[in-house]
Amino acid sequence: MLNATMIRRLLIAAGSRRSGRKKLLWAIALIFSPLLIALILLLALLSGTGNHNTAMVDYAFYGGRLSSALPPDMRSQLSVLRVDLASLEAALKTFENVERAPDLVQIKAYYYTFFMQGVPLTAVDKRAFVACFLDADEKVVTKKDDAGNEYTESITVYAALDDAFTIESNLVALIGFALTPDMRAQSADIYAHIKYGKDLVYTLHAGGLDDVILSDAPFVGEDDFVSPLGAAWRQLVTSEFGKRVHPISGKVRLHGGIDLASPAGTPIRAALDGSVVISNTHHDSYGKYIMLDHGGKVATLYAHCSKLLVAVGDSVQAGDIIAEVGTTGSSTGNHLHFEIRVNGVAQNPRRYLP
């Protein structure tokens, strides 16, 4: 006879995979069809907030129609926000001599987060907001007049900032409001949703991160990828994939993965089934790190660990604990540097993680 505890365990075990969810629901339907109806109603209620959040973000970025279930004042605010986001796009076009344009989605994601947190933005100049994401450099160029005579002129050249710390410092100076960890997490979540089509995980009006980062259960996506640090990994991202100013060397270089801040000793899980091909304790940059081979020329790398729990040749399953978070190697604090490589080429992990 199934009791409440057993049903809860089955839900936790199977709820993370699509196939598992289907099998479980069929089993419950055969045994407890009245309970199935109640379960469906409960899940619908619980998903309501997430659906509203997704609809609100999509409307602000793309337009369309808003649900009549939203309060009138919220509908009005979202209409204002949509106009503001369009103004940011127009403001970006006013910059001349842009050698490398900033990520417009990133700009809008930050603005959306400030707006939804009630930060006063009415008086904030949209061009000044966009400028927070740009590095300005004065250059002297040689030009010719109509007669063909050469002359020099000083111009301002702009390029996208890759350093999140500098961007956020610029925003704080402009707006006078410091970003909280919650706001940083919300912005990253919105960015992943718009940029890569990921589902919104973070509740936009949540009370804090403590409620979501404590679970140590594996978080598995429908394509079998497992987050190395749990369901709330988006809230932990402190440095994105791509070009950035290295926090130690100060040089612009490709950051081949994402950095996930977490306390020392936090368990790190294998992202996929595979075998350990590197378990190194003395790398100058990565510090203690592990590389797993998943077949099909796909590999994952886990760096700056405090402790390695597997050895070369070991086979691991997705979700197995393979190491612990640390700050070894070239690191400024406890975090996991996580990479995904396909044919030896670094990929943006956001495109693969659940």
Where in the sequence is the domain holding 53, given as residue range(s)? 4-62
Helical segments of the chain, H only: 4-14, 18-31, 33-62, 72-92, 104-116, 126-131, 164-175, 181-196, 233-236
Secondary structure class of 254 (helix, strand, coil)? strand
CA torsion, ordered 150, 156, 160, 164, to nearest 10 deg:
150
Residue 200 is assigned to a structural domain of this protein: no
* Number of domains the chain contains: 3
For residue 174, give the amino acid letter. Answer: L
Q: Hey, what are 229's tokens?
A: 């640090």
Residues 135 and 161 in one domain: yes
Q: Are 199 and 49 in contact (CB under 8 A)?
A: no
Domain boundary among 155, 175, 195: 175
User: What per-residue confidence (pLDDT) applies to 59?
Assistant: 84
| Pairing assessment for the beta strands 345-347 and 287-293 based on DSSP bridges | unpaired
Residue 187 is assigned to a structural domain of this protein: no
Residues 76 and 42 in one domain: no
Residues 332 and 255 in one domain: yes
Residue 205 is assigned to a structural domain of this protein: no
Beta-carbon neighbour count of residue 168 at 10 Å?
17
User: What per-residue confidence (pLDDT) applies to 200?
Assistant: 55
Residues 169 and 218 in one domain: no
Nearest Cα neighbor of 97 from 158, 53, 163, 139 is: 158
User: What per-residue confidence (pLDDT) applies to 15?
Assistant: 42
Q: Which segments in the chain show pLDDT lower than 50?
A: 1-19, 21-22, 25-26, 28-50, 52, 201-222
User: What per-residue confidence (pLDDT) applies to 238?
Assistant: 81
> pTM score, two decimals?
0.48
Residues 167 and 287 in one domain: no
- Rounded distance, CA 183 to CA 175, Å? 14
User: What per-residue confidence (pLDDT) applies to 223?
Assistant: 62
CA torsion, ordered 196, 200, 204, 208, to nearest 10 deg:
-110
User: What per-residue confidence (pLDDT) applies to 134?
Assistant: 93
Residue 180 is assigned to a structural domain of this protein: no
CATH number at residue 232: 2.70.70.10
Domain boundary among 175, 200, 227: 175
Q: Hey, what are 225's tokens?
A: 């990828």
Residues 31 and 86 in one domain: no
Residues 295 and 252 in one domain: yes
Residue 235 is assigned to a structural domain of this protein: yes
